[in-house]
Amino acid sequence: MDPLKAPRPRLATVWLGGCSGCHMSFMDLDERLLDLLTRAELVYSPIMDVKRYPERVDIALVEGAIANQEHLEQIYRVREHTHTLVSFGDCAVSGNVTALRNPLGRAEPVLRRVYLENGDLGAQLPHAPGIVPPLLDRVVPIHAVVPVDVFLPGCPPSADLIYFVLAELLSGRKPDLAERLRFG
Protein backbone atom coordinates (compact mmCIF):
# COMPACT_ATOMS: atom_id res chain seq x y z
CA MET A 1 0.00 0.00 0.00
CA ASP A 2 1.13 3.55 -0.69
CA PRO A 3 2.48 4.71 2.71
CA LEU A 4 0.89 8.13 2.18
CA LYS A 5 -2.54 6.46 1.88
CA ALA A 6 -2.22 4.37 5.06
CA PRO A 7 -3.72 5.92 8.23
CA ARG A 8 -1.06 7.98 9.96
CA PRO A 9 -1.01 10.00 13.21
CA ARG A 10 -2.52 13.43 12.66
CA LEU A 11 -0.06 16.30 13.18
CA ALA A 12 -0.84 20.01 13.58
CA THR A 13 1.24 23.13 14.08
CA VAL A 14 -0.35 26.25 15.56
CA TRP A 15 0.86 29.87 15.59
CA LEU A 16 -0.33 31.97 18.54
CA GLY A 17 1.55 34.91 20.11
CA GLY A 18 4.99 34.39 18.60
CA CYS A 19 7.16 35.84 15.85
CA SER A 20 6.89 32.73 13.61
CA GLY A 21 10.59 31.99 14.20
CA CYS A 22 9.67 28.61 15.70
CA HIS A 23 7.81 27.75 12.51
CA MET A 24 10.82 28.91 10.48
CA SER A 25 12.87 26.42 12.47
CA PHE A 26 10.23 23.75 11.70
CA MET A 27 10.72 24.54 7.99
CA ASP A 28 14.47 24.12 8.54
CA LEU A 29 13.79 20.39 8.89
CA ASP A 30 14.16 20.48 5.09
CA GLU A 31 14.24 16.94 3.68
CA ARG A 32 13.41 15.50 7.10
CA LEU A 33 9.94 17.03 6.62
CA LEU A 34 9.41 14.46 3.88
CA ASP A 35 10.38 11.70 6.27
CA LEU A 36 7.98 13.02 8.91
CA LEU A 37 5.18 13.31 6.39
CA THR A 38 5.47 9.64 5.50
CA ARG A 39 4.93 8.93 9.20
CA ALA A 40 2.33 11.59 10.04
CA GLU A 41 -0.44 13.45 8.23
CA LEU A 42 -0.22 17.23 8.52
CA VAL A 43 -3.82 18.34 9.09
CA TYR A 44 -3.49 21.95 10.27
CA SER A 45 -0.71 24.55 10.09
CA PRO A 46 -0.05 28.17 9.08
CA ILE A 47 1.72 26.68 6.06
CA MET A 48 -1.61 25.14 4.91
CA ASP A 49 -4.90 26.69 3.89
CA VAL A 50 -7.07 25.16 6.63
CA LYS A 51 -9.09 27.69 8.59
CA ARG A 52 -10.47 25.76 11.56
CA TYR A 53 -8.54 23.54 13.93
CA PRO A 54 -9.75 20.00 13.21
CA GLU A 55 -10.94 17.29 15.57
CA ARG A 56 -8.85 14.22 16.52
CA VAL A 57 -5.34 15.64 16.29
CA ASP A 58 -2.68 13.33 17.70
CA ILE A 59 0.24 15.76 18.08
CA ALA A 60 0.20 19.57 18.01
CA LEU A 61 3.21 21.89 18.12
CA VAL A 62 1.91 25.19 19.50
CA GLU A 63 4.13 28.25 19.01
CA GLY A 64 3.69 31.44 21.00
CA ALA A 65 2.21 32.73 24.21
CA ILE A 66 -1.42 33.59 24.93
CA ALA A 67 -1.63 37.32 24.26
CA ASN A 68 -5.12 38.08 22.96
CA GLN A 69 -8.69 36.82 23.06
CA GLU A 70 -8.32 34.83 19.84
CA HIS A 71 -5.31 32.95 21.22
CA LEU A 72 -7.34 32.09 24.30
CA GLU A 73 -10.23 30.67 22.29
CA GLN A 74 -7.83 28.82 19.98
CA ILE A 75 -5.85 27.14 22.76
CA TYR A 76 -9.03 25.82 24.40
CA ARG A 77 -10.09 24.30 21.09
CA VAL A 78 -6.60 22.90 20.47
CA ARG A 79 -6.52 21.31 23.92
CA GLU A 80 -9.98 19.82 23.53
CA HIS A 81 -9.13 18.13 20.22
CA THR A 82 -5.47 17.18 20.74
CA HIS A 83 -3.96 14.11 22.36
CA THR A 84 -0.38 15.40 22.82
CA LEU A 85 0.07 19.17 23.07
CA VAL A 86 3.68 20.36 22.70
CA SER A 87 4.54 23.81 24.04
CA PHE A 88 6.75 24.83 21.13
CA GLY A 89 9.48 27.41 21.82
CA ASP A 90 10.26 29.80 24.65
CA CYS A 91 7.26 32.11 24.08
CA ALA A 92 4.93 29.13 24.51
CA VAL A 93 6.94 27.75 27.44
CA SER A 94 7.55 30.93 29.45
CA GLY A 95 6.04 33.96 27.66
CA ASN A 96 9.54 35.10 26.63
CA VAL A 97 9.57 37.97 24.09
CA THR A 98 5.78 38.16 23.81
CA ALA A 99 5.51 38.75 27.56
CA LEU A 100 7.95 41.69 27.57
CA ARG A 101 4.94 44.02 27.64
CA ASN A 102 3.71 42.65 30.98
CA PRO A 103 5.64 45.21 33.08
CA LEU A 104 3.51 47.94 31.45
CA GLY A 105 0.53 46.48 33.30
CA ARG A 106 -2.75 46.14 31.45
CA ALA A 107 -3.37 46.16 27.69
CA GLU A 108 -4.44 49.81 27.53
CA PRO A 109 -1.02 51.32 28.50
CA VAL A 110 0.59 49.02 25.91
CA LEU A 111 -1.68 50.36 23.16
CA ARG A 112 -1.10 53.96 24.32
CA ARG A 113 2.67 53.43 24.27
CA VAL A 114 2.61 52.00 20.74
CA TYR A 115 -0.04 54.16 19.06
CA LEU A 116 -0.08 57.48 20.95
CA GLU A 117 3.46 57.91 22.18
CA ASN A 118 5.12 56.76 18.95
CA GLY A 119 4.82 59.68 16.51
CA ASP A 120 5.38 57.49 13.45
CA LEU A 121 2.21 55.48 13.94
CA GLY A 122 -0.27 58.36 14.16
CA ALA A 123 -2.23 59.45 17.19
CA GLN A 124 -5.21 57.10 17.40
CA LEU A 125 -5.78 53.92 19.27
CA PRO A 126 -6.71 51.10 16.87
CA HIS A 127 -10.45 50.62 16.73
CA ALA A 128 -11.55 47.60 14.74
CA PRO A 129 -14.02 45.63 16.87
CA GLY A 130 -14.60 42.14 15.51
CA ILE A 131 -11.52 42.36 13.28
CA VAL A 132 -8.56 42.87 15.60
CA PRO A 133 -8.81 40.56 18.62
CA PRO A 134 -8.60 42.46 21.93
CA LEU A 135 -5.31 42.12 23.78
CA LEU A 136 -5.38 40.33 27.13
CA ASP A 137 -4.15 42.45 30.00
CA ARG A 138 -1.38 39.96 30.69
CA VAL A 139 0.55 37.63 28.36
CA VAL A 140 0.81 34.10 29.78
CA PRO A 141 2.51 30.86 28.69
CA ILE A 142 0.34 28.03 27.41
CA HIS A 143 0.52 25.89 30.54
CA ALA A 144 -1.01 28.77 32.53
CA VAL A 145 -4.23 28.19 30.57
CA VAL A 146 -4.38 24.50 29.62
CA PRO A 147 -2.36 21.37 30.49
CA VAL A 148 0.73 20.80 28.34
CA ASP A 149 2.15 17.34 27.64
CA VAL A 150 5.65 18.17 26.33
CA PHE A 151 7.78 21.31 26.73
CA LEU A 152 10.10 22.07 23.81
CA PRO A 153 12.11 25.19 24.76
CA GLY A 154 14.42 27.30 22.62
CA CYS A 155 14.21 30.63 20.84
CA PRO A 156 13.69 29.03 18.46
CA PRO A 157 14.21 25.33 19.16
CA SER A 158 16.66 23.93 16.64
CA ALA A 159 15.44 21.81 13.74
CA ASP A 160 17.39 18.88 15.21
CA LEU A 161 15.51 19.21 18.49
CA ILE A 162 12.14 19.51 16.75
CA TYR A 163 12.91 16.41 14.72
CA PHE A 164 13.96 14.47 17.82
CA VAL A 165 10.75 15.37 19.66
CA LEU A 166 8.47 14.52 16.74
CA ALA A 167 10.31 11.29 15.94
CA GLU A 168 10.06 10.17 19.57
CA LEU A 169 6.36 11.00 19.78
CA LEU A 170 5.65 9.26 16.49
CA SER A 171 7.45 6.19 17.87
CA GLY A 172 5.15 6.22 20.89
CA ARG A 173 7.76 7.52 23.34
CA LYS A 174 7.75 10.63 25.50
CA PRO A 175 10.85 12.62 24.47
CA ASP A 176 13.53 13.00 27.16
CA LEU A 177 15.21 16.36 26.54
CA ALA A 178 17.37 16.37 29.69
CA GLU A 179 20.60 15.60 27.82
CA ARG A 180 19.80 17.75 24.78
CA LEU A 181 19.09 21.17 26.27
CA ARG A 182 21.81 23.73 26.95
CA PHE A 183 21.14 26.84 29.02
CA GLY A 184 23.40 29.89 29.18
Report the C-alpha gap between 144 and 62 in whole angstroms: 14
> What is the distance between the alpha carbons of residues 136 and 76, in angstroms, rounded to a whole number?
15
Q: Judged by CB under 6 A, which of 64, 95, 141, 175 binds ligand SF4?
A: 64
When the beta carbons of 59 and 162 are compared against ligand SF4, the nearer one is 162
Strand partners, 61: 13, 86
| 131: amino acid identity, one letter | I
Nearest to 149 by CA among 86, 69, 82: 86
Which of 67, 97, 135, 165 binds ligand SF4 (CB under 6 A)? It is 97
Sheet holding 150-152, edge to edge: 41-44, 10-15, 57-63, 82-88, 150-152
Cβ proximity to ligand SF4, 154 vs 175, nearer residue: 154
* Binding of residue 175 to ligand SF4 (CB under 6 A): no
Q: Which residues contact 117 (CB under 8 A, 6 or more apart)?
A: none
Q: 107-146 mask for ligand SF4 (x: CB under 6 A)?
A: ----------------------------------------
Pairing status of strand 66-68 against strand 135-140: antiparallel
For the bound state, the minimum distance from the C-beta of residue 7 to ligand SF4, rounded and expressed in Å, comes to: 31
Of 18-26, 47-55, 73-81, 99-107, the segment contacting ligand SF4 by CB under 6 A is 18-26
Question: Is 104 a binder of ligand SF4 (CB under 6 A)?
Answer: no
Which stretches of the chain bind ligand SF4, using CB under 6 A? 18-19, 21-22, 63-64, 89-91, 96-97, 155-156
